[in-house]
Amino acid sequence: MFPNTVLLILLAISQVTAAPHTFTDTQGRSLQAEYITSDASGVTLSIAGKLHTLPMTRFSTADQAWIVDQKKSAAPAAGTAPPASTAFPPMTQRQIAEHFLKERGEPQVNVMVGTKLTRVTRLSDLPAEDFYILAIFERPLTKKPFPWSLLQQMPKLMDLKVSSVSPISTADLVHLNALKNPFSLSIECDHSLDSAAVAAIAKMESLKVLTISRNLILEKDLPLFASRVPNLERFLVMNFDKSAKTSQVTDQALSGALPTWKSLQHLFFKGMPFTAATAKAISSCRKLEELGLQECEILSPQDFAPLAGLRSLKKLSLRRITQLSAQDVQDIQKTLKDCQVEQQN
């Protein structure tokens, strides 16, 4: 039996972004929802922009078969390898580091020699001793596709920053699952991930820091993506190209994602609209200590009122927000009495 509250919500849905499917439970009751993904824990449906996971056994036999078909069609076929252009033979950590330093626009590669961390930006800086790669930080956007399959050979990699104008496929993101204990992940990309790519990411419980470009995750996929990284402490959404006609991360999408992160302490938005509804979504982050807004569209100081009850918030940073006057900033400070408000134009 489906929970009554879920049934009421489902029956009231009229704004689901994708074509909904009519599900039937074991008692013959019907409902409509958007299928997102399914695994051993159950079936995840999108309900008014929020995710609900229900046991597979609650669905009719026909729907269970339909769900299995959906999962098969979304996942890459068994044995499917990434394109030959991104496939690499077995390589040593030194060979991998040399590849990035030669081919990826002068990134920073952090390597560990015993217990010593060495930051490398040139081939001549690579230590003579054996090492393993701990972090890779790409700097400028590069036209060359990122060598995702090399992640299979860097299981100890903890920090990764990818900057690429090339599209990212489902087969690419599957390689993230090879990382044993990722700590920070930054993906700057001009293209949006499709739903299958997001669903391909395994849960990364060790990930604490995540930076994405605004258009990387489609609005309807943001709650699902949030569930893959449940222990975030720092989240940054950056709009690097204001002229690009990319999807907006809306208040509704944030409302479905932010409550997932119970440990979130630092939140930063660049180039995104900020409204009272945005602030209300942020107010669900009960441990949030710092909020940064850069080049964001803010209509009124009153939009910050929902944050007044967020006792943990200690710092609000406002950068390059020209529509706010000095008086507006003072009014925001009065609203957020226990929070330090800083403005930098």
Predicted local confidence at residue 268, as pLDDT: 94
- Tell me which CATH homologous superfamily contains domain 4-74: SLA1 homology domain 1 (2.30.30.700)
Ranges for all domains in the chain classified under CATH 2.30.30.700: 4-74
Q: Tell me the per-residue pLDDT of 123-145, one tens digit each, with 9 for 90 and over.
A: 999 999 999 999 999 876 677 78
Q: What is the mean pLDDT of residues 289-314?
A: 92
Residue 255: per-residue pLDDT: 78
The lowest-confidence range among 65-79, 177-191, 294-308 is 65-79
The pTM of the whole model exceeds 0.75: no
What are the start-end ranges of the E strands in the chain? 21-24, 30-39, 42-47, 50-54, 108-113, 116-120, 132-137, 159-164, 184-189, 209-213, 234-238, 266-270, 273-274, 290-294, 297-298, 315-319, 340-344
Q: What is the dihedral of CA 121, 123, 124, 125, to 10 degrees?
A: 40
Q: Residue 13's pLDDT is what?
A: 30
Residue range 115-125: mean pLDDT, rounded: 93
pLDDT for residue 6: 37
pLDDT of residue 87: 73
| Per-residue confidence band for 110, with pLDDT thresholds at 50, 70 and 90 | very high
For 130, the token pair is 């054996």
Quote the pLDDT of residue 221.
82
pLDDT at 105 over 70: yes
Residue 18 banded pLDDT, cuts 50, 70, 90: very low
Residue 252 has pLDDT above 50, yes or no: yes
The pLDDT mean for the chain works out to 82
- The 10s digit of each residue's pLDDT in 159-195 is 999 987 777 888 888 888 889 899 999 988 777 787 8
Boundaries of CATH 3.80.10.10 in the chain? 90-344
The CATH label, of 3.80.10.10, 3.40.1160.10, 3.40.50.2020, 3.30.9.100, for the domain at 90-344 is 3.80.10.10
> Do 133 and 97 contact (CB within 8 A), yes or no?
yes
228, pLDDT greater than 70: yes
What average pLDDT does this structure show over 293-301?
88
Give the model's confidence band at 7: pLDDT under 50 very low, under 70 low, under 90 confident, else very high: very low
Q: What gap in Å lies between CA 276 and CA 172, rounded to an integer? A: 37
Whole-Å CA distances, 84 to 87, 147, 234, 266, 328: 5, 11, 35, 40, 56
* Local confidence band at 77 (pLDDT 50, 70, 90 cut-offs): very low
Extract the tokens encoding 7.
């049934």
The pLDDT value recorded for residue 141 is: 67
Read off the pLDDT of residues 194-216 as tens digits, 9 standing for 90 and up. Answer: 788 888 788 899 999 998 876 67
pLDDT band for position 47 (cuts 50, 70, 90): low
Least confident of 22-26, 39-43, 123-127, 288-292: 39-43
- Cα distance between residue 215 and residue 253, in whole Å: 13
